[in-house]
Amino acid sequence: MKENKYICANRSRDYKKRVERVINDSKKEILDFFEVEDDGRFNYTIYIYDTMETLRNGLYARGFKEHPDYMCACFKDEDASLNFYEPLDEETENEWSKDEYDLVIFHELIHAIEHTIYGTQPEWLSEGIAKYLDGTYSQGIKWLLQNYINKIPIPEMRELEEEFGFHDYDSYDYAYIMVSYLIETMGKKRFLKFLHNAHEVTELSKNLLTKSIQYYEEYFAD
């Protein structure tokens, strides 16, 4: 069976083993969500850099010119690559610890597997699925509404479609609530079929953010 290919420019060759362990431990959970078998398609080229700065510089040198300032890992569908850096053992004010970064690896693997199955999707949809699965919003949608979404004006859907991650608000909050709404109202099986249909994705995205927020506001008002 084909294996992941590693290109390591980080300080510790042992960190590759940790990345591989996280990927192996996470893959089945993700494939089960998408209801597919591991048929050998889900292996990738994995770049590991030394720091966040060298990660961004490495992506730039490889031709990927634009990414948000907060980026600390990514899946690039252009070359089917997962891109990470090696964090410190303990967290600092500006950096993940290795334990925390395991979740980042999991998140990016979700993107990779989704892309292998469905091809390129709108960023709000891909990020919403990853956040739905990775446990970021374990405190629930009611908490998210009360603490973040209802405290600032709702952005335009166009911004989430065309400028995801390039505004002061957290685009991931809105991506998560939209995907949660779609899965809850459609059911997961229909949602997975929906991902294959680009036209349906475009149609359902119209006013989707407003509908999602209103749906949950009414739900939690009862």
Cβ-count burial of 151 within 10 angstroms (0-12 exposed, 13-18 middle, 19+ buried)? exposed
Q: Are 86 and 139 members of one domain?
A: no
Quote the domain boundaries for residue 40. Answer: 5-118
Alpha-helix runs per DSSP H in 6-97: 15-34, 52-61
The per-residue pLDDT for range 186-212, each reduced to its tens digit, is 999 999 999 999 889 989 898 999 999
- Cα 23 to Cα 105: distance, rounded to the nearest angstrom: 7
- Cα 100 to Cα 94: distance, rounded to the nearest angstrom: 13
Q: Are 165 and 86 members of one domain?
A: no
Q: Phi/psi of residue 95, each to 5°?
A: -145, 145
Distances (CA, A) of 33 to 16, 113, 214: 26, 11, 27
**Which of 77, 96, 84 is closest to 58 using CA atoms?**
84
The per-residue pLDDT for range 103-151, each reduced to its tens digit, is 999 999 999 999 999 999 999 999 999 999 999 999 999 999 999 999 9
Q: Are 141 and 161 members of one domain?
A: yes
Enter the pTM of the model. Answer: 0.94
pLDDT band at 157 (very low <50, low <70, confident <90, very high): very high
- Indicate the number of domains in the chain: 2
Q: Are 108 and 203 members of one domain?
A: no
CATH of the domain at 106: 3.40.30.160
The per-residue pLDDT for range 37-70, each reduced to its tens digit, is 999 999 999 999 999 999 999 999 999 887 777 7
Q: Are 95 and 29 members of one domain?
A: yes
